[in-house]
Amino acid sequence: MNGRFASLAIQDPPYNLVAFERRDVRGFVEWCRKWANATYNALAEDASLYVWMGADLTEGFQPLPDFMVIMRGTKFRARSLITWSFEEPGQNKSPATTFWPWPNGPQGME
């Protein structure tokens, strides 16, 4: 990016890697940690990261819970969690989570 930094990153990891057993949850989440750290390095100090993550209600909401745990080990801090669902039973929709790239959130916003 020629020394410039992004003000926004949106990640929509392919949940089907877990859903179709191409990768176990642990491997998927470790892969997520890698791209989260790479994303952090590309963001400006006041940037945001939005993540769309699958949450399978029949499998303990995985991979979302494990993803949230690994994000605690990054330099990002959660700002909000947005969830939604379809009207029809059995059609689950992924939540979106906003992360700040600062250890304690933006100054003056706490």
Domain 6-100, CATH homologous superfamily name and number: Vaccinia Virus protein VP39 (3.40.50.150)
User: Amino acid letter at 18?
Assistant: V
Question: What's the pLDDT at 49?
Answer: 92
Tokens of 31: 């892969």
Q: Which residue has the tokens 């939604």?
A: 84
Domain ranges (residues) in the chain? 6-100
7 CB contacts (<8 Å, ≥6 apart)?
Answer: 43, 44, 46, 47, 48
Q: Which residue has the tokens 């949106």?
A: 10
pLDDT digits over 9-49, tens only? 999 888 666 556 667 888 888 989 999 999 999 999 889 99
pLDDT digits over 18-29, tens only? 556 667 888 888
If we measure between CA atoms, which residue out of 63, 23, 102 comes closest to residue 51? 63
Tokens of 91: 């059609």
